[in-house]
Amino acid sequence: QSVIIKNDFKEEWVSDLKGIKSLESLSKEDLIKNIRDKGIVGMGGATFPTAVKLSPPKDKVIDVIIANGAECEPYLTTDYRVMMEYPEKIINGLLVEMKITEAKHGIVAIETNKKDAAVLLEENVKKRGLDNVEVVLVKTKYPQGGEKQLIKAVLGKEVPAEKLPLEVGAIVQNVGTLKAISEAVFEGKPLIERGVTVSGSAIKKPGNYIIRIGTTVTDIIQQTGGLTKKLRKLIFGGPMMGIAQSTIEVPVTKGTSGILFFGEEVLDMAPQDEMPCIRCSRCVDWCPIGLMPLLIDHAWRRDDIKLTETLNATDCIECGVCSYVCPSKRHLTENVRNAKQKILKQRKIETAKQAAFEKIKALKVKKAQEEKEKLDEGEKANG
């Protein structure tokens, strides 16, 4: 048997998808369930389940929710358009998260090159009389939109190594995610579409589009006027942290913030042959996390995973800056990423081994206890 799905093109919502009129009508638990049921995830790229992010351990107090409007990757402007066109929904989503976490303060962080968006959000905040929400401008630089970098810029606090923002009482949420939360709670709308920047030298009609999750690049090319030249590089995301695709038969996902199309000119930007490290320290000076990429790279090439862990390779945010500034064209980001993934994989294996050991130990204790109880019962029967 098979199931055939046919589109009736009526675009009719099912009747039980309804929103609420006031936040007061739902408890924190109901709001989290609503967000989870509507499939809301982080739309900045990580796609971490938002319901989980809004459920920190009970011993962690959240003081502030930061709306991340610091869209810093070249080409990408989808968050900017969301802020320009849906400021009310962003503030709605921020208020929902503040209620769930009991955070007393909300901040919308926007880079200085998007002051017009900041004005719209500020007007919305003032119109509602929200004394506990403010809009702040942060320096335009890459990678300002990283969680730890934004917290440092806005709060002046540093998130400890291998720790999450909740360690400093903060949760950072992408503005697109906040819009989706608002639509889920107040309109009953699940996450079925998102804003995507379609750009690059090889696409005829670049722009920001609302695109359904699951739409293939093939369809997007057709709907945006087609290609202007032979496609040589297709990237999901931005040019710094995005992932190159090998085919146009790939779908938009919840984390697809941009789709970039490039022609022959990318051949001039192709990776060059690596040269020996000259110890110039550029990668160290420019690393936004404060890592030493050259040392991690050397340790990785020697297969010294323990040393890469000591050098905090797992803190790498894979921004690509170290590779970009390296005059020797070393594949620093790639090797630090590989080291990070191997460390995390080994930790996962060790955790599984420890869990198995504890399970076997518990079974042995249980078996010994049962045997002792049987002996005790036998002695009582004979006595």
Task: Summarize the confidence of residues 342-347 as an average pLDDT.
Answer: 96
What's residue 16's pLDDT?
81
What's the chain's average pLDDT?
A: 94
C-alpha 71: how far from its chain's center?
Answer: 12
Task: Summarize the confidence of residues 313-337 as an average pLDDT.
Answer: 95
CB 202 within 8 A of CB 212: no
What's residue 131's pLDDT?
95
Question: Of the candidates 48, 155, 27, 163, which has an alpha carbon nearest to the alpha carbon of residue 102?
Answer: 27
CA dist., res. 72 & res. 151, Å (int): 15
Confidence of residue 375 (pLDDT cuts 50, 70, 90): confident
Per-residue pLDDT tens over the stretch 13-43:
887 888 888 888 889 999 999 999 999 999 9
Task: Summarize the confidence of residues 178-203 as an average pLDDT.
Answer: 96
Asked which of 91-105, 214-228, 253-267 is least confident by mean pLDDT, the reply is 253-267
User: Taking CA 307 as the corner, what is the angle to CA 306 and CA 311, rounded to the nearest 5 degrees?
Assistant: 120
Domains in the chain (CATH in brackets) are: 23-187 (3.40.50.11540), 193-269 (3.10.20.600), 271-383 (no CATH)
Query: Would the pLDDT of 205 be above 90?
Result: yes
User: Taking CA 206 as the corner, what is the angle to CA 247 and CA 209, rounded to the nearest 5 degrees?
Assistant: 85
- Quick check: pTM over 0.85? yes
